[in-house]
Every structure is written in structure tokens, then in C-alpha cells.
Amino acid sequence: MAVRCIGRCVLLFCLAICFDVVGLVVLLIGIFANLRLNGVFYGDFLIFTGALVVFLSLIWWIMWYTGNVEVAADEPDRSTLDNFAQWARKFSERLSKIEIHHVLP
């Protein structure tokens, strides 16, 4: 039951959770611990490192989500792409009709 809730990419899910937990632990240690070595405070380093690890966990979450997206077996709906193409074409035409006046000093 639990594996079915996680989806097909269990390894990516576990990596994302591990990065989140490690990043949060390092971040909290940097915030609440008074870490000094030879008179140098290392809390800022741990805060930034923890935040970076949590940010990097987003890569694993995006890969996990992408791996679990189900695509229909038949041909994808082209109407959305056609609507976007028409919008882009109209936008491009409007931009090309705008005259740019250069003001010379």
C-alpha cells in the first residue's frame, strides 16, 4: 500500500526525503548550535549549506514527479499546442507592428 502511494520512482522519492531531512538537520544545527572552532563561528556555513541541500532536493522532487506523470496511450491533445501557437503568432505580429521611435538628444 505504501509503495503504491509513493509511485513508481521509489529511489527518487527516498533521495528527495533524505536530502530534505539532512538539509533541515544541518540548517537547524547552524541556527541553534553555538559552533565555534578556534574562535571562528561556523553557524553561518551550516545555515547556508543546509538551505542549499534543501534547495537541491527540489531536483529529486521534480524528477520523482516527472517519473510518475502518466501519459495517455492515444495521441496527445493537440488543441492546447495549437492554441498556444496561435497566441504566439498573434503576439509576434502585434510586436512587429509596433513602431519604435528613437529619441536623439
- What does pTM read for this prediction? 0.62
Q: Other C-beta atoms within 10 Å of 27: how many?
A: 19
Greater confidence, 25 or 98? 25
What is the structure's pLDDT at 7?
Answer: 79
Cα dist. 95→64, 98, 99 in Å? 39, 5, 9
Span 13-32, pLDDT tens digits:
899 999 999 999 999 999 99
User: How many Cβ atoms are within 10 Å of 43's Cβ, its own excluded?
Assistant: 15
* Structural contact between residues 64 and 12, judged by C-beta atoms closer than 8 angstroms: yes
For residue 103, pLDDT beyond 60:
no
- Give the H/E segment covering residue 40: strand 40-41
